[in-house]
């Protein structure tokens, strides 16, 4: 009887140990295999996204494989389909176009792969966690800033980015904010076209040509920093830096360098790009360990001007967790 009980105890112990080892919470972090489908990587924001993923995986455990869609949703969808076949422990996505890759992401979810989206909400896809900025809020906040800087009255240009559903929200936010400023008049508008037939620099040159006199154009609101920087160069080349300024959205070293250098580029809404990527990996580990994770997280955004940057040696590190607090920055959104 004693031997039988001992045998039964051993069987129970082995079975229990096997179940414990198979439990998600106790899978070795080093063994986790992650896949990351980047919507783009050719500029600073794309690079910071990748760095955030790499840093988190290095610190928290696992390995990660990257692909770069170079802003092409068809290519990104194909890359996601290829990842589905590899069956990673989690899939991270930075959408080139949320609507354009939604079907591929839904297939990943249906295949049982936990999906974590950074930078944008993917419509119709029940991803595990989305971590993004308040794009609409960045549009309203920055347009309000422009209006206040002009004393509530002036003429502005708008450069928006309607090709991507999330980025389009920035322009929508700016348009909504205009309702509060009846004396701010939009006298020029240009929307970025993915064909690249016209560059932001050329678009601003055209605005300046169409509004040649002082007072014809006071500011240009831009949906992203690249346009704000190119616009600043065009304004400076035209000798109108004392008349017109630009604002942008994104943040990072290039934008901060422009703003510090007394160019016409005066404000950027600095997103926590690195943090978004890092949090995807953080919550993937939590989810795989069997813990509850949030469906949506809105990452901090900081309004950055020349005054914000005074005395800071490496402001581009602001979106590494904890660094903005050391700078004394308060989030705007």
Residue 55 within any structural domain of the chain = yes
Mean pLDDT, rounded, for 38-51: 93
Q: Is residue 3 part of a domain?
A: no
Mean pLDDT across the stretch 50-71? 97
Residues 69 and 156 in one domain: no
One domain, residues 319 and 181: yes
Tens of pLDDT along 226-280? 999 999 999 999 999 999 999 999 999 999 999 999 899 999 999 999 999 999 9
Number of domains in the chain: 2
Q: Do 308 and 179 belong to one domain?
A: yes
Q: What is the rounded average pLDDT of the residues 34-41?
A: 96
Position 50 in a domain: yes
One domain, residues 246 and 313: yes
Say what the pTM is: 0.88
| 140, 207: one domain | yes
Question: Residue 18: pLDDT above 60?
Answer: no
161 shares a domain with 55: no
Residue 4 domain-assigned (yes or no): no
Q: What is the pLDDT of residue 14?
A: 31
Judgement on whether residues 43 and 101 belong to the same structural domain of the protein:
yes
255 and 148 share one domain: yes
Task: Specify the CATH number for the domain of residue 216.
Answer: 3.40.50.2300
Within a domain: residue 291? yes
The domain in which residue 236 lies consists of 135-270+303-327
Residue 241 lies inside a defined structural domain of this protein: yes
In a domain, 311, yes or no: yes
Please check whether residues 228 and 152 belong to one and the same domain.
yes
Q: What is the 3-state secondary structure (H, E, C) of the chain?
A: CHHHHHHHHHHHHHHHHHHHHHCHHHCCHHHCEEEEEECCCCCHHHHHHHHHHHHHHHHHCCEEEEEECCCCHHHHHHHHHHHHHHCCCEEEEECCCHHHHHHHHHHHHHCCCCEEEECCCCCCCCCCEEEECCHHHHHHHHHHHHHHHCCCCEEEEEEECCCCHHHHHHHHHHHHHHCCCCCEEEEEEEECCCCCCCCHHHHHHHHHHHCCCCCCCCEEEECCHHHHHHHHHHHHHCCCCCCCEEEEEECCHHHHHHHHCCCCEEEEEEECHHHHHHHHHHHHHHHHCCCCCCCEEECCEEEECHHHHCCCCCHHHCCCCCHHHHHCCCCCC
Q: Residue 333 falls within a domain, yes or no?
A: no
pLDDT for residue 114 is more than 50: yes
**Does residue 264 share a domain with residue 176?**
yes
Same domain? 50 vs 161 = no
**Residue 7 scores a pLDDT above 70:** no
Query: Are residues 209 and 121 both part of a single domain?
Result: no
């Amino acid at each position: 009887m004693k031997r039988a009980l001992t045998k039964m105890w051993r069987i129970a112990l082995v079975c229990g140990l096997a179940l414990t080892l198979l439990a998600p919470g106790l899978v070795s972090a080093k063994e986790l295999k992650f896949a990351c489908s980047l919507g783009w990587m050719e500029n600073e924001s794309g690079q910071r996204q990748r760095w955030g993923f790499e840093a988190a995986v290095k610190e928290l455990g696992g390995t990660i494989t990257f692909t770069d869609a170079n802003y092409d949703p068809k290519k990104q969808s194909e890359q996601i389909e290829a990842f589905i076949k590899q069956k990673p422990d989690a899939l991270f996505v930075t959408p080139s176009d949320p609507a354009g890759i939604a079907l591929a992401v839904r297939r990943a979810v249906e295949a049982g792969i936990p999906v974590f989206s950074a930078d944008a909400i993917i419509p119709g896809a029940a991803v595990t966690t989305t971590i993004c900025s308040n794009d609409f809020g960045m549009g309203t906040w920055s347009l309000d800033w422009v209006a206040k800087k002009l004393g509530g009255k002036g003429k502005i240009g708008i450069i928006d980015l309607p090709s991507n559903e999330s980025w389009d929200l920035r322009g929508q936010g700016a348009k909504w904010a205009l309702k509060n400023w009846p004396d701010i008049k939009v006298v020029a508008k240009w929307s970025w076209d993915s064909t690249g037939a016209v560059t932001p620099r050329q678009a601003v040159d055209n605005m300046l040509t169409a509004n040649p006199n002082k007072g014809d154009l006071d500011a240009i609101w831009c949906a992203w920093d690249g346009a704000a920087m190119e616009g600043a160069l065009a304004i400076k080349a035209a000798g109108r830096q004392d008349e017109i300024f630009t604002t942008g959205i994104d943040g990072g070293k290039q934008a901060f360098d422009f703003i510090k250098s007394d160019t016409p580029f005066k404000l950027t809404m600095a997103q926590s790009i690195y943090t978004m990527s890092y949090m995807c990996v953080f919550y993937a580990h939590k989810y795989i360990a069997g813990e509850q994770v949030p469906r949506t997280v809105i990452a901090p955004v900081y309004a950055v001007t020349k005054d914000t940057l005074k005395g800071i040696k490496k402001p581009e590190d602001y979106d590494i967790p904890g660094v903005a607090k050391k700078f004394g920055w308060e989030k705007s959104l």
